[in-house]
Amino acid sequence: MSLAWLEGAEREGRLRPLDRHFALQLLALAERVDGTAGLAHPRSSPPAGDGRTALALAAALVSRTTGEGHVCLDLCAAAGRAPFGDSVPGLQAPELEQWREALRASGVVGAPGESAPLVLDSRDRLYLARYWHFEHDLAAALRERASGWAAGVDRVRLAADLRRLFPARDGVLGRADEIDWQAVAAALAVLRRLTVISGGPGTGKTRTVAAVLALLASQAMGGASAGARAGAEAGAGAVGRQPRVALAAPTGKAAARLAESVRRAREDLPLSQTERSALPEEATTLHRLLGARPGRPGFRHDAGSPLHLDLLVVDEASMVDLPLLARTVAALPARARLVLLGDRDQLASVEAGAVLGEVCGRGVHPGYSPELAQTLGEVLGVGAGQLPSSADPGRPAVADALVFLRRSYRFGRDSGIGALAARVNAGDTAGVLALLKAARARDPLEADGLRHRTLEEGERVAQVERLVVPRLRAVLEASGPAEALAALGSFRVLCALREGPWGVAAFNELVERALRRAGLVPRDRDAYRGRPVMVTRNDYATGLFNGDVGVFWPDAGAGGALRVFFPAAGGGLRALLPTRLPAHETVYAMTVHKSQGSELDEVLLVLPDRLSPVLTRELLYTAVTRARASVEIWGPEATVAAAVAARVERTSGLRDALWSDAPPA
In this prediction the pTM is 0.83
525 Cβ neighbours under 8 A, 6+ residues apart: none
Q: What is the pLDDT of residue 264?
A: 81
Sheet strands (E) in 241-391:
245-249, 284-285, 311-314, 337-342
Q: What is the pLDDT of residue 125?
A: 95
Q: What is the pLDDT of residue 411?
A: 64
Residues in the chain with pLDDT values less than 50: 35-48, 170-176, 223-239, 445, 664-665
What phi-psi label fits residue 392: left (phi over 0), alpha (psi between -120 and 50 degrees) or beta? beta
Q: How far apart are CA 40 and CA 569, in angstroms?
A: 49
Exposed / middle / buried, residue 40 (Cβ in 10 Å: 0-12, 13-18, 19+): buried
Q: How far apart are CA 291 and CA 298, in angstroms?
A: 9
Phi and psi at residue 121, to the nearest 5°: -90, 180
Q: What is the pLDDT of residue 663?
A: 53
- Using DSSP, state whether 165 is helix, strand or coil: helix
Q: What is the pLDDT of residue 457?
A: 63
- Using DSSP, state whether 349 is helix, strand or coil: coil
- Treating both helix axes as pointing N-terminal to C-terminal, what angle do 370-380 and 155-165 enclose, rounded to 10 degrees? 60
Q: How far apart are CA 354 and CA 69, in angstroms?
A: 8
Q: What is the pLDDT of residue 444?
A: 56
Q: What is the pLDDT of residue 138?
A: 95
Q: Return the H-helix or E-strand segment holding 66.
A: helix 50-67
